[in-house]
């Protein structure tokens, strides 16, 4: 496997690109668990929710999101970056928070659970109280 160690600076493989993208996300204290990332033939797809880790004080701003995406676009080997976040949208050169209420992560997870083949919910998950 190529990615052990560190990401090389010359033209990167898809896995090395993913590694470089995660480095940028981590540098900005972004919650990796809410972001979906994959790279195929140099095209990087980002989706899900762009949000800080819980209890990180500085909220994400438009300029920070712009900086993050621009940094990702500059990674060597990336041909294109396709972004489809639920909570941020690019309008021209500016990233804006979507006007709808931020997605409730727990509600989204519950929806995903209903669609999943396997239910891997931990046993301590609170159950709705009986009427």
Partner 1 sequence: MKTILAIDDDHWVLETLRDALTTHGYEVLTTVSADEATCILGEQRVDLVLLDLNMPGKNGFELYRLFQSRQPVPVLFVSGCSRSFSPHSDGFESLWTNEFAQGMTDILYKPFSLATLYEKVEGLIGDSGVVPHESTH
Quickly count helices (H) and strands (E) in the chain.
3, 5
Nearer to partner 1, 38 or 94 (CB): 38
Distances (CA, A) of 128 to 31, 79, 114, 125, 131: 27, 47, 15, 10, 9
Nearer to partner 1, 62 or 125 (CB): 125
- Do residues 42 and 77 lie in contact, with contact meaning Cβ atoms separated by under 8 Å? yes
User: Minimum distance between the CB of residue 36 and partner 1, rounded to whole angstroms?
Assistant: 6
The binding site for partner 1 (CB under 8 A) comprises: 1, 3-7, 14-15, 18-23, 26-27, 29, 31-34, 36-39, 53-56, 105, 109-110, 112-113, 115-125
User: Minimum distance between the CB of residue 99 and partner 1, rounded to whole angstroms?
Assistant: 24
Nearer to partner 1, 16 or 65 (CB): 16
Euclidean distance between CA atoms 8 and 2, whole angstroms: 10
């Amino acid at each position: 496997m190529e990615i052990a160690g560190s990401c090389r600076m010359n033209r990167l493989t898809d896995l090395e690109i993913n590694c470089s993208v995660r480095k940028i996300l981590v540098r900005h204290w972004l919650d990796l668990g809410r972001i979906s990332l994959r790279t195929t033939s140099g095209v990087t797809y980002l989706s899900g929710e762009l949000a800080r880790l819980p209890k990180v004080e500085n909220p994400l701003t438009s300029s920070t999101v712009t900086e993050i995406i621009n940094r990702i676009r500059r990674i060597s080997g990336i041909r294109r970056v396709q972004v489809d976040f639920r909570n941020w949208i690019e309008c021209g050169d500016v990233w804006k928070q979507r006007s709808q209420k931020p997605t409730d992560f727990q509600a989204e997870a519950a929806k995903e659970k209903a669609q999943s083949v396997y239910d891997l919910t931990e046993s301590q998950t609170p159950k709705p109280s009986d009427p």
